[in-house]
Amino acid sequence: DTAVSQTPKYLVTQMGNDKSIKCEQNLGHDTMYWYKQDSKKFLKIMFSYNNKELIINETVPNRFSPKSPDKAHLNLHINSLELGDSAVYFCASSHRGTGGGGYTFGSGTRLTVV
Amino acid sequence: SQQGEEDPQALSIQEGENATMNCSYKTSINNLQWYRQNSGRGLVHLILIRSNEREKHSGRLRVTLDTSKKSSSLLITASRAADTASYFCATGSLTNQGGKLIFGQGTELSVKP
């Protein structure tokens, strides 16, 4: 199936831990994104990579570090997790430029920090 | 920064009725997109309308765009219980690096059988 797949789907961890979320797309898109959705369902972009190059880095704590080993993968590593990091994190992909069409989203990773 | 404001925040209708959701935005856009999110799932792209288009149809969906008023509406005709979901508008701008989309707060639609 062509899709954006992210793992894990659920992640429960203690404050102070370090965790990673992985994302892969097999759609041949050249741009990948990480979005954070808070408890009020507000979606905010965190990062964007185009062909492995970081092109968007919103005001995100530097505890969050994205890594793109190739244009089909974009992982998110979070250091020293805090309670406020609890949210649903979505990976998405598209062709560069929103004029190219819509985004394809993964099913999300629900992160709970306790 | 938040771009889209959606109205209403929640909408409850009976099956078979039409549902209309509105979206307003602040800056110049290249296109506007609508997404659906079922509970506990990712967002699904529904339709894209470009800034030089005024109306677009896709199945039971009709989207309008008024760039002079910086607003868009999504109409779902003959709604079904399966249409129950959150609906988000998102704006794309040529000035945005990498074509990032900025999402509105969403409208929660409930269609009762």
- Residue B51 burial (C-beta neighbours within 10 Å; 0-12, 13-18, 19+): middle
Q: Compare CB distances from B45 to A48, A104, A108 and report the shortest one's residue.
A: A104
Decide: helix, strand or coil at residue A59.
coil
The Cα of A18 is separated from the nearest Cα of chain B by a number of Å equal to: 24
B6: confidence class by pLDDT, cuts 50, 70, 90: confident
> Any idea which residue has 């507000």 for tokens?
A42
Using an 8 Å CB-CB cutoff, list chain B residues near A56.
Answer: 97-98, 100
Using an 8 Å CB-CB cutoff, list chain B residues near A105.
Answer: 35, 42-44
**CA–CA distance, B86 with B15 (Å, rounded to integer):** 16
Mean pLDDT for all residues in chain A? 91
Cα dihedral B83, A95, B7, B60 sign: negative
A1: confidence class by pLDDT, cuts 50, 70, 90: low
The DSSP result for B70-111, as a single string, is TEEEEEE-S--GGG-EEEEEEEE-TTSGGG-EEE---EEEEE
B100 touches chain A (CB under 8 A): yes
**CA–CA distance, A7 with A20 (Å, rounded to integer):** 9
Reply yes or no on whether the pLDDT at B97 is more than 60.
no
Cα dihedral B14, B90, B106, A32 sign: positive
**CA–CA distance, A75 with A34 (Å, rounded to integer):** 9
Test mutation, B101, B102, B107, B108, chain A, max A CBs within 10 A: B101
Q: Compare CB distances from B97 to A55, A90, A101 and report the shortest one's residue.
A: A55
Mean pLDDT of A73-90: 97
Mean pLDDT for all residues in chain B? 91
Q: Compare CB distances from A97 to B35, B42, B99 and report the shortest one's residue.
A: B99
Mean pLDDT of A47-52: 86
Non-local CB neighbours of A29 within 8 Å, separated by 6+ positions: A71, A93, A94, A95, A104
The phi-psi region of residue B69 (left if phi > 0; otherwise alpha if psi is between -120 and 50; otherwise beta) is alpha
Q: Which two tokens stand for residue B72?
A: 């868009």
**CA–CA distance, B81 with B79 (Å, rounded to integer):** 7
pLDDT tens digits for A59-72? 789 999 999 999 89
What pLDDT shows up at residue B1?
Answer: 42
Stronger pLDDT, B7 or B49, i.e. the higher one? B49
What pLDDT shows up at residue A50?
Answer: 86
| Out of A68-72, B18-22, B63-67, least confident range | A68-72
Reply yes or no on whether the pLDDT at B85 is more than 90.
yes
**CA–CA distance, B36 with B95 (Å, rounded to integer):** 25
What pLDDT shows up at residue B2?
Answer: 47
Facing residues of A23 across strands? A6
B31 touches chain A (CB under 8 A): yes
**CA–CA distance, B108 with B21 (Å, rounded to integer):** 10
